[in-house]
Structure 1
Amino acid sequence: MEAKKQLKHLIIYCNPNPKSLSAVYKEAVMELTEMSGNAMNVRDLYNIGFHPVLEQSDFDAVKHGQIPEEVKVEQDYIQWADLLTFIYPIWWTGMPALMKGYIDRVFTKGFAYNMDEEGQLQGLLAGKKVVILNNMGFPYDYYDKIGMLQSIKQTSDQGIFEFCGIEVAEHRFFGHLDGSSKSEREAHVNVLKLIYDKLLS
Structure 2
Amino acid sequence: MHRSHPTPVLRHAVILCHPDPHSFNHAIADAYCGAVAANGQETILRDLYAMRFDPVLKAQERPTIENFTVSADVQAELDVLRGCQAFVLIYPIWFGTPPAMLKGYVERVLGSGVNPRDVQARLPTSFLAGQRLVSFTTSAASQPWLSEQGQWQALRYVFDHYLSHAFGMQRDEHVHFASVVPGMEQRWADQHLYQVEQQARATCAAILAERYHPRDEQAVPFRPLA
2:140 is matched with 137
**For the structure 1 residues 14 and 90, does the alpha-carbon distance in structure 2 shift closer, same or farther, using more than 3 Å as the test?**
same
Q: Report the more deviating stretch, 3-12 or 126-135.
A: 3-12
Q: Contact 2:61/2:70 (CA < 8 Å) preserved in 1?
A: yes
* 1:172 Cα deviation from its structure 2 partner: 1.2
Q: Which residue in 1 is equivalent to 2:193?
A: 189
Counterpart-to-counterpart distance in 2, 1:161 and 1:121: 10
Q: Tell me the secondary structure at the aligned position of residue 74 of structure 1.
A: helix
Residues 113 and 12 (structure 1), Cα distance of their counterparts in 2 relative to 1, 3 Å cut: farther
Q: Given the superposition, is the C-alpha separation of residues 61 and 159 from structure 1 closer, same or farther in structure 2, using an over 3 Å criterion?
A: closer
- The residue aligned with 1:76 is 79
Q: What residue in structure 2 maps to residue 35 of structure 1?
A: 38
Matched residue count:
196
Of 21, 29, 33, 1:26 maps to 29
Residues 71-119 of structure 1: per-residue CA shift (max 9 Å, x gap): 1122223322101111011111101111111111113363x46646xx7
Structure 1 residue 121, shift from structure 2 partner = 2.9
* TM-score, structure 2 normalization: 0.78
Report the CA distance shift for 1:44/1:137 in structure 2 as closer, same or farther (over 3 A): same
Q: Deviations over 1:26-78 (max 9, x none)?
A: 11011111111112211111111211111223228974352111111222233
- Give the TM-score normalised by structure 1: 0.87
Does residue 100 (structure 1) correspond to residue 109 (structure 2)? The answer is: no
Structure 1: distance between partners of 2:171 and 2:140: 24
* Residue type of the alignment partner of 2:84: A
Q: For residues 16 and 60 of structure 2, what CA distance do their matches in structure 1 show?
A: 26
1:123 maps to 124
| In structure 2, distance between residues paired with 1:17 and 1:158 | 28
**Pairing of 1:172-187 with structure 2 (within 5 A):** 172-178=175-181, 180-187=184-191
Gap regions ≥5 residues in structure 2: 1-5, 206-226
Query: In 2, distance between residues paired with 1:36 and 1:97?
Result: 33
Are the aligned partners of 2:61 and 2:68 in contact in 1 as well (CA < 8 Å)?
no
Gaps of 5+ in 1: none
Percent of paired sites with the same residue: 24
Q: CA RMSD in A?
A: 2.2
